[in-house]
Each structure stands twice: as structure tokens, then as C-alpha cells.
Amino acid sequence: MDKLGVSFTTISIDNIPGEKPEMAIKNLIVSRSKEEDFPEMPFSHPHIVDGAAFIICTKGEGRISLNLKEYVLKERTVMCILPGFIIESHFANVDFSIEYLFFSLDFYSELRMFPSPELPYIIEQNPCMELDEAKFSILLDYYALIIKRYPEKQLAMHDKIIRNLLRALLYEAISLYDNLPTGKSTNHSRNDEISLQFSQLLSQNYLKEREVTFYANRLFITPKHLSKVVKKVLGRKPLDLINEMVMLHIQALLKSSNLTIAQIAEELHFSSPSFLGRFFKKYKGMTPMEYRNGE
């Protein structure tokens, strides 16, 4: 229930295919190697992830966007999806097959997996990685053991066994990020640092702050310099990235909630529903209601 008292549906523990939480551990879903699960997931349009997920692609190929960036999932790739990510699927070929773990916000918080406060930002910039055969095999071994033990609720200390196996798997995954830049590395240019910091600020503030000046002030640089740097490093102007994040969020609300246009305008801090309507039509070429009622 959101602050407006309106039911809001996202990609959550309740609408992910797999072994439902009542079968083993509350707030954790483990896939069971069903190739048809992934295409049936309800994010052919943007959705907001209300939880966290770890995905292992075992064969085939699929394309997914996370927070505006498109990634290719193929054999021997893994993907980490954190709470609040905006996700949209674009394509999956006929032999596309994944394994996944999906856990609720409560379960995610209980795990306390991050050894440093920077790690979520590093994952946000690098959510998808292709692994060599040895590293990929290790992750699959952990996953196979979780799959084997997960349904066996009669085991003594079942919950602790599964939680610790899960922690071991996730720590293996987190270790893959050890050699990735943090945004403070001396190997990175100042422009790279500015772009990373802008991306972090954007993911935290785009619902309320849609002016480039806000982000420039937070980074202690001029809006003109921020625009120049972000355009050079990311290939897009800051204002375009801000507006696209806002558009994705509006699309997610229109397709996966019962909020009215007025409530969406309030939720996203637009001055009025009509202003939101003009904003949406400018970027999407149709009104919010036309988008909501379309396929």
C-alpha cells in the first residue's frame, strides 16, 4: 500500500513463477528449471522490482533493459537485480533458459550481504556479467545444492541450511565484483567519476528532481559542464536520461497499478495531471490513458 492508500502491483514475490514461498522459506522463490517461466513474467512493459533477484542464464539468449540500459543474457551470464530497478524484457529466443532466485525486500534486508556501501552502486552500473567456465560452474554447483535442499522442509534446521547456502552463492557472486571499479579508482578519469556519481544521484532522486541544475549542484559543477561530461561518457544528455527514467516510471505505474492520472502526477511531483499528460505525450506520442488502455 503506497502513501496514497492505493494498491500498487510491481514485480514482486507474489507474481514471480517458481517454487512459492509457502513451500519452503517465506519470501524466497527458487526457479525449477522451467524454460517457459521467464517469457511468462509480466514485464513486457516497464515494471518496478519490489525485491531482489539473481539470474543465471544456462542457454539461449534474451534481452532485458534495467534502468534504461539494455543487456544481453546468454549462456554463462549472470544478472543481479536490486530493489527499485525498472525492468523491461525485449526478446527471448526459443531455447532461452534461466535459473533464478527472487527474494522479497524483507528477505533481502535480512541477508545483509554488502560488505561495503559502494557495492550496490557498482552492481547498478554492472548488473550483468559473462563468466568463464570455471566461475560459472561454481555458481551452478551452489544453485544445484539449493535446488536439492530447498523442498526438503523436514530437514532439521532447514531454514538455516538454505539461508547459508544462499549466502554462499551470493558471496560468490559478489566476489565477482571485487575487480570492478568503484567510481573512486585512480584508474578512472574525472569524467568517469562524474558520470558514475550522476547515475547514482539520478537513480535516487529522479522521482522528485527533474532539473539538471539539482544534479550539477550536488556534484559542485556547473550544469553546462555536467551536460558536456555526461554526453561524452554516456552518449546522452543528462536531461534526456532524467526524462527517460521518469517516463519509464510513469509507464510502469500506468500498466501495473490502479493509480489515477492525478495520483500518478502527485506521486511523481508533477504540478498537475495536465502537465503530466503533456510531458507523457511529448515523449511517447500518446496520452497516458491511451498507453494504459493499449496492448
Q: What is the pLDDT of residues 227-270, one digit of tens each?
A: 999 998 888 899 999 998 898 889 888 877 788 999 999 989 99
Look at residue 5 and tell me whether its pLDDT is greater than 60.
Answer: no
Length of the chain measured in residues = 295
Rounded distance between C-alpha atoms, residue 125 and residue 234, angstroms: 12
The answer to whether residues 167 and 254 belong to one domain is no
Q: What is the pLDDT of residues 129-151, one digit of tens each?
A: 999 999 999 999 999 898 888 87
Report if residue 7 sits inside a domain: no
Rounded distance between C-alpha atoms, residue 97 and residue 56, angstroms: 9
Rounded distance between C-alpha atoms, residue 224 and residue 272, angstroms: 29
| CA angle at 165 for the pair 62 and 173, rounded to the nearest 5° | 45
Above pLDDT 90, what percent of the chain?
Answer: 29
Closest CA to 181 of 230, 233, 122, 229: 122
Report if residue 10 sits inside a domain: no
The answer to whether residues 41 and 170 belong to one domain is yes
Report if residue 12 sits inside a domain: no
Report if residue 14 sits inside a domain: no
Of 110-124, 173-187, 193-207, 240-254, minimum mean pLDDT range:
173-187
Q: What is the pLDDT of residues 43-76, one digit of tens each?
A: 567 777 878 888 999 999 988 888 778 899 999 9
Q: Residue 33's domain is classified under what CATH number?
A: 2.60.120.280
Q: Residue 217's domain is classified under what CATH number?
A: 1.10.10.60
Report if residue 249 sits inside a domain: yes
Average pLDDT, the chain: 79
Residue 152 domain boundaries: 21-175
Q: How confident is the model at residue 102 (pLDDT cuts 50, 70, 90)?
A: confident
Chosen domain end from 147, 175, 203:
175
The answer to whether residues 117 and 214 belong to one domain is no
Quick check: 247 and 276 in contact, CB under 8 A?
A: no
Number of domains in the chain: 2
Chosen domain end from 120, 142, 175:
175
The answer to whether residues 196 and 288 belong to one domain is yes
Q: Which three cell numbers stand for residue 170?
A: 551470493
The answer to whether residues 248 and 142 belong to one domain is no
Half-sphere exposure of 268 (CA within 13 A, CB side): 28
Task: Give bridge partners of residue 30 from the DSSP assignment.
Answer: 19, 101
Higher pLDDT, 158 or 60: 60
Rounded distance between C-alpha atoms, residue 276 and residue 288, angstroms: 8
Report if residue 9 sits inside a domain: no
Q: Which three cell numbers stand for residue 3?
A: 502513501
The answer to whether residues 144 and 36 belong to one domain is yes
Look at residue 198 and tell me whether its pLDDT is greater than 80.
Answer: yes
Rounded distance between C-alpha atoms, residue 198 and residue 220, angstroms: 11
Report if residue 71 sits inside a domain: yes
The answer to whether residues 162 and 205 belong to one domain is no
- Confidence (pLDDT) at 34: 47
Exposed, middle or buried, 148 (CB in 10 Å: 0-12/13-18/19+)? exposed
The answer to whether residues 129 and 248 belong to one domain is no
Quick check: 121 and 89 in contact, CB under 8 A?
A: no
Report if residue 284 sits inside a domain: yes
Chosen domain end from 175, 206, 226:
175
| Full strand arrangement of the beta sheet holding 128-130 | 28-30, 97-103, 52-59, 77-81, 128-130
Amino acid at site 151:
P
Rounded distance between C-alpha atoms, residue 61 and residue 201, angstroms: 32
Higher pLDDT, 110 or 1: 110
The answer to whether residues 212 and 284 belong to one domain is yes
The answer to whether residues 208 and 66 belong to one domain is no
The answer to whether residues 162 and 194 belong to one domain is no
The answer to whether residues 89 and 54 belong to one domain is yes
